[in-house]
């Protein structure tokens, strides 16, 4: 197929779509929706869907689909569709081709592809969805079901499916403050990205108890309930119990907490950004202890990290228990800083660091502030984790 023709079609299609922001919902179409989708109610027919990027475009994912079906003569027929990803939907123009023979040589004067209608897909989850088509006076819809996916891929329907495999750990945050003088309350929004997941947490304090809504770029993301002056909502991709599926990228967005249309906390003109980390004076007395959170990979796994500064000496300890015998990696912001060797099943095990270095401790050459702390098993799967607080 002529690459120049495909590029030309893309430019036309992209100009015709309304480039609205993705919306928060149960899922978002990601690159892992690429694959072969069958029509379970129809004989030997289906759609090959590819979620791609396109040079010289806006950076949002695009979609190309090939619909394999039959013509009125009961011979094989296929259509090509090109368009945009919008939340849990793929909206495409439908093209047909005629006038080209089997293995016909490339000819400058021949342009056999033309618009013939629309093909739109929307998905219930990573494995089931619906297709709707319009071709002239003919329109209809049919079920689609995943038949095959990309090799070694895992579709979650969350935003992290599109994170590059070589992405470096990233943490961003922004303060949430009252929109006007005389109003009380404060809050914070934090965003983390790693190759295997994304997290977005929104907290609020000192505002009236009740049910609120979280907005980013004027898009409703989810609820926030305040009880006894405090509230928190956690989003994650891939989704896990107790956390909402993260399907909207909050970066570069003003963030607000609203109730009945009124704004109670806002980031104003600020957006999520990196912040200065760590204390400036090691002579300060600092002691922070925080429990590690289990990811649910190992039932009964527990842990704790502790950071202490006293005079000109700094110590850091990580402790785990309730895990089987084996070696577990200790990571800070995605970088391995050491290992915990559990010699007896479920035995308490510690890893210690210090600066200056001591005989019974490893040298402390990292700062934990605002960093993602992890303990991973031998398969490099995170079993315990926490984001260390701000200094």
Residue with tokens 């926030």: 224
Whether 7 shows a pLDDT value over 60: the answer reads no
Dihedral sign (CA 138, 144, 150, 151): negative
Q: Does residue 171 contact residue 192 with C-beta atoms inside 8 Å?
A: yes
Q: CB within 8 A of 279, min separation 6: which ones?
A: 286, 309, 369, 391
Residue with tokens 């994304």: 198
Q: Does residue 88 contact residue 122 with C-beta atoms inside 8 Å?
A: yes
Whether 166 shows a pLDDT value over 80: the answer reads no
Q: To 10 degrees, the CA torsion angle through 214, 217, 220, 223?
A: -10
Rounded Cα distance, 172 and 251, in Å: 8
Q: φ and ψ at 143, to 5 degrees? A: -75, 150
Check residue 20 and give its pLDDT.
36
Query: Which residues lie across from 386 on neighbouring strands?
Result: 373
Q: Percentage of residues in the chain with pLDDT exceeding 70?
A: 89
Check residue 112 and give its pLDDT.
81
In terms of pLDDT, which residue wins out, 196 or 92?
92
Concatenate the DSSP letters of all residues of 220-273 into one string.
EEEEEEEETTEEEEEEEES-BTTBEE--S--TT--EEEEETTEEEEE-TT---B
In terms of pLDDT, which residue wins out, 18 or 154?
154
Concatenate the DSSP letters of all residues of 169-182 into one string.
PEEEEEEEB-SSTT
In this prediction, residues 64-87 reach a mean pLDDT of 93
> Residue 55 is encoded by which pair of tokens?
């040079």
Rounded Cα distance, 235 and 224, in Å: 11
Summarised one tens digit per residue, pLDDT across range 229-263 is 999 999 999 888 888 999 999 999 999 999 999 99
In this prediction, residues 269-292 reach a mean pLDDT of 73
In this prediction, residues 208-225 reach a mean pLDDT of 96
Residue 18: count other Cβ atoms within 10 Å of its Cβ. 7
- In the structure, what pLDDT confidence band is assigned to residue 276 with cuts at 50, 70 and 90? low
Rounded Cα distance, 279 and 368, in Å: 11
- In the structure, what pLDDT confidence band is assigned to residue 9 with cuts at 50, 70 and 90? very low
Check residue 38 and give its pLDDT.
98
The DSSP output letter for 6 is H
Q: CB within 8 A of 102, min separation 6: which ones?
A: none
Residue from 348, 351, 357 nearest 374 by CA: 351
Residue from 141, 148, 9, 24 nearest 83 by CA: 9
Concatenate the DSSP letters of all residues of 266-300 into one string.
E-TT---B----S-S-TTS-EEEEEEPEE-SSSTT
The SS3 call for residue 47 is strand
Report the residue count for the chain.
391
Rounded Cα distance, 292 and 304, in Å: 5
In terms of pLDDT, which residue wins out, 23 or 114?
114
Whether 5 shows a pLDDT value over 80: the answer reads no
- In the structure, what pLDDT confidence band is assigned to residue 391 with cuts at 50, 70 and 90? low
Residue from 53, 76, 75 nearest 63 by CA: 53
- In the structure, what pLDDT confidence band is assigned to residue 14 with cuts at 50, 70 and 90? very low
Mean of per-residue pLDDT scores for the chain: 87
Summarised one tens digit per residue, pLDDT across range 323-332 is 999 999 999 9
Which stretch, 14-23, 137-146, 151-160, 242-251, has highest mean pLDDT?
137-146
In this prediction, residues 91-106 reach a mean pLDDT of 89
């Amino acid at each position: 197929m002529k690459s120049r023709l495909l590029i030309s079609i893309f430019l036309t299609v992209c100009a015709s779509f309304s480039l609205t922001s993705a919306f928060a919902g149960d899922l978002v179409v990601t690159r892992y929706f690429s694959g072969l989708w069958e029509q379970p109610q129809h004989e030997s027919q289906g759609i090959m869907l590819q979620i791609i990027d396109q040079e010289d475009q806006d950076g949002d994912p695009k979609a190309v689909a090939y619909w394999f079906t039959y013509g009125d003569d009961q011979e094989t027929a296929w259509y090509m569709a090109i368009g945009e990803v919008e939340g849990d939907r793929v909206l495409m123009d439908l093209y047909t081709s005629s006038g080209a023979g089997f293995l016909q040589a490339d000819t400058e004067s021949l342009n056999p592809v033309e618009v013939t209608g629309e093909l739109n897909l929307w998905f219930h989850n990573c494995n089931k969805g619906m297709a709707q088509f319009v071709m002239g006076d003919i329109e209809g819809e049919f079920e689609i079901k995943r038949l095959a996916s990309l090799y070694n891929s895992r579709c979650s329907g969350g935003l992290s499916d599109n994170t590059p495999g070589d992405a470096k750990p990233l943490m961003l945050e922004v303060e949430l403050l009252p929109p006007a003088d005389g109003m009380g309350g404060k809050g914070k929004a934090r965003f983390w990205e790693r190759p295997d997941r994304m997290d977005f947490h929104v907290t609020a304090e000192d505002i009236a108890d009740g049910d609120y809504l979280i907005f980013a770029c004027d898009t409703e993301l989810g609820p926030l309930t305040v009880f006894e002056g405090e509230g928190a909502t956690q989003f994650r991709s891939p989704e896990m119990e107790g956390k909402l599926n993260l399907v909207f990228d909050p970066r570069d967005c003003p963030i607000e907490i609203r109730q009945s249309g009124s704004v109670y906390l806002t980031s104003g003109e600020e957006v999520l950004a990196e912040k200065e980390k760590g204390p400036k004076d090691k002579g300060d007395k600092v002691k922070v202890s925080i429990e590690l959170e289990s990811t649910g990979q190992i039932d009964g796994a527990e842990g704790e990290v502790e950071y202490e500064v006293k005079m000109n000496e700094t110590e850091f300890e990580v402790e785990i228990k309730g895990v089987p015998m084996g070696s577990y990696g200790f990571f800070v912001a995605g970088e391995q800083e050491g290992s915990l060797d559990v010699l007896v099943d479920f035995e308490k095990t510690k890893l210690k660091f210090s600066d200056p270095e001591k005989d019974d401790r490893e040298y402390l050459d990292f700062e934990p502030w605002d960093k993602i702390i992890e303990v991973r098993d031998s398969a490099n799967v995170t079993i315990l984790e926490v984001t260390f607080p701000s200094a």
